[in-house]
Structure 1
């Protein structure tokens, strides 16, 4: 009988760094240093992608492309991408240790999943060098999955499924129908869908929502629900099979998926 055997989590915005603020701050800063001021939405839009791809995606936004041409008298080019990415890495490495706190509920969830015999994998939009920092500090704070795959040793990052496939290989998860991918961005959702796994999106703490924990707690309920609904619809429009408000709610989804598998349903 088929049952869920493993869960593959994203990192920033899903298991650590509530709201995924570390990369957003740096993306805004590196463009401002070049005289271009992106909006928060433009900086968050490509979140979850390999970070150099994120730089390219931001430069490709029509408004930013036009501002670049207006300021520099030419279109952006590969040298610009490389310089922006160099500055991104330099600034991110300086602040990453401060953005590695596990999100509420994740440590308890991981304990419950392991007690059920499930394997815990992970994927990320960070490079291997970035994750060396994140992984070390998160482990000191109690979070450490069974395996981590980064885009650094893959043909491509998200939304391609290669990191999930590596997790499945290393963790000996033979059937994608018995695997759940959990993430907080559209890129995460697409990654899970492309790997033929069950793809689950998280609302609170997500990059897509872009709010601190304090803002989520203190925001008027009607206003928060409106924002949550926007993110929920975005995830569903990109193929998410399930949406949960917080990562600690994953248990009930696992039970629902196991019932679907028992009935012969597939992602």
Structure 2
């Protein structure tokens, strides 16, 4: 029996994350802002601390940082009370312009992204985006990447939604914006667990990014200065962390995405025909 409802089983769209995925190799912009933000309140926050909740909307990220036991302890010693939601609101209001300033120095497209983009465009695949950044920050980023040759088909920011990552609502908005369906014709590419879960929870194919992402945290030059054994060790460590996001595939950077498009399409076709029997 043929399933007459199912759409043409080709890939209809790829939805990318931003920092650590298509811009800002190593995802450095938000880290500097988080450390500086808490530092202005006399709280010592490490880069490792700051990277922990990466991928979450920035309000949730700040809330998670403030509630880390050793950070909350510093907060109580400094202000004689625990870190609260009201404190999160206050820090978030300061963080937004701080991060907006930081992204101006960290909006360079990941090497190889434009080549991948050209392949997707040639195949008629739509290119969407979601992000843990808010709209105010992305209003700074968009003109910078446009100058480099990229304008996305859509953009869903964390504050556009009643509930952002790891919920699927950002991807649902992409389906509407891009006019694509079913979810299995869409690929979500991200370097964080919450961002991958955003795709997984919506029923998309998911591709995790290792080398350029938050979990590695190296610059492009630092990554390429490593030998292959060092890279493989990092790949193993980061793969284990990203496994919590349930990715279907893992790649070093978005430059490697074209290598797996055919494999994803083949698996989709196989699943389509098996379900139609």
Taking structure 2 as the reference length, the TM-score comes to 0.92
- Per the TM alignment, residue 121 of structure 1 is displaced from its structure 2 partner at its CA by 0.4
The Cα shift of 1:100 comes to: 1.2
Structure 2's unaligned 5+ residue stretches are 1-7
Q: 2:192–2:208: 8 Å Cα contact kept in structure 1?
A: yes
> Which residue of the partner structure matches residue 87 of structure 2?
80
In structure 2, distance between residues paired with 1:224 and 1:88: 33
**CA–CA distance in 1 between the matches of 2:243 and 2:255?**
20
Distance (whole Å) between structure 2 residues aligned to residue 212 and residue 48 of structure 1 = 18
Q: 2:89 matched to 1:93?
A: no
Specify the SS of the correspondent of 1:99: coil
Match of 1:112 among 116, 119, 133: 119
Instruction: Spell out, residue by residue over 1:202-244, the C-alpha distance to the aligned partner (whole angstroms, 9 max, x if none).
Output: 1111011111111101124323322221111111233111101
Structure 1 stretch displaced more, 16-25 or 60-69: 60-69
TM-fit CA distance, 1:247: 0.8
1:2-39 alpha-carbon deviations (Å, 9 max, x no partner) = 12111000011111111111111000111112121122
| Correspondent of 1:154 among 150, 153, 161 | 161
Preserved CA contact (<8 Å) 2:112 2:254? yes
TM-score using structure 1 length: 0.95
Confirm whether residue 253 of structure 1 aligns to residue 260 of structure 2: yes
Residue 50 of structure 2 is matched in structure 1 by 43
Aligned counterpart for 1:8 among listed residues 15, 18, 22 = 15
Structure whose CA Rg is larger: 2
Q: Tell me the residue number matched to 1:262.
A: 269
Runs of 4+ in 1 over 3 A off after TM superposition: none
CA RMSD of aligned residues (A): 1.5
* Structure 2 residue aligned with 1:164: 171
In the alignment, which residue of structure 2 is the partner of 1:55?
Answer: 62
In 1: Cα distance, 2:77 partner to 2:254 partner = 43
> Residues 192 and 245 of structure 2 are in contact (CA less than 8 Å); yes or no, is this contact kept in structure 1?
no
Q: Give the Cα–Cα distance (whole angstroms) in 2 for the partners of residues 117 and 86 of structure 1.
A: 40
Of the three residues 190, 193, 197, the one matched with 2:200 is 193
Question: Counterpart in 2 of 1:238?
Answer: 245
* Separation of aligned partners in 1, 2:100 and 2:153: 24
Number of aligned positions between the proteins: 266
